[in-house]
Amino acid sequence: MTRRLLASAVLAAVLAASAAGCGGGGDKDSKATAWAAKVCDTVGQNKLPMPNFGNGKNARSVKTGYLSFLDGLNLRLQRVELALRGAGRPPVDNGGKTYDLALSNLRSAQTAVTGVRTDVGKAPATNVAVFQKAVAKASPAMSRFTTYQGPVKDLRTNAELNSAFDAAPSCKANKL
């Protein structure tokens, strides 16, 4: 009888221990998903509207449209950086390394946008052709940020974060 009780107690303890271990880090997964949701909420709120560069015939209007677009882009990049910093390092293995890469790329994009904004701001708006030539000179700097796909793409290079982004409802809703 004692053997039976002891065997039942051991079996119950083994089952409880194995059940607690199932899921491979459920708390860690839920923390990563919550972290990803925070990031997606901010990134989703900071999508850029389509730029309005005026009617294309008035150089001053086109320049104003370019500057407005670049200012809006820079503001959105700043907001995303602040939110990313506010979220802190992701709670996953090697998350810090991925986070640092995402912040570095985000800052590089901001620097490129600021440089282009400065160049476009200095461009003469006497006529559209002259302005377009000035903008074309800024093209190499523009190409640095036109290929940038945002911090979520960088963060998704971490397999655990990729799963967290896939699981977070706000990431799905924002198609991130």
Q: What is the pLDDT of residue 144?
A: 67
| pTM given for the model | 0.76
Say what the pLDDT of residue 136 is. Answer: 82
Could you tell me how many residues make up the chain?
176
- Domain boundaries in the chain? 25-173
Give residue-wise pLDDT tens across range 120-174.
Answer: 898 888 888 888 887 787 777 777 667 788 899 999 999 999 999 999 998 888 8
Instruction: State residue 28's pLDDT score.
Output: 66
Q: Distance between CA atoms of 176 and 173, rounded to whole angstroms?
A: 8
Is 70 exceeded by the pLDDT of residue 103?
A: yes
Comparing 170 with 29, which gets the higher pLDDT? 170
Cβ within 8 Å of residue 139, ≥6 positions away? none
As a whole number of Å, the CA-based R_g of the chain is: 25
pLDDT in tens, 42-96: 887 777 667 777 667 788 888 888 899 899 989 999 999 999 999 999 999 999 9
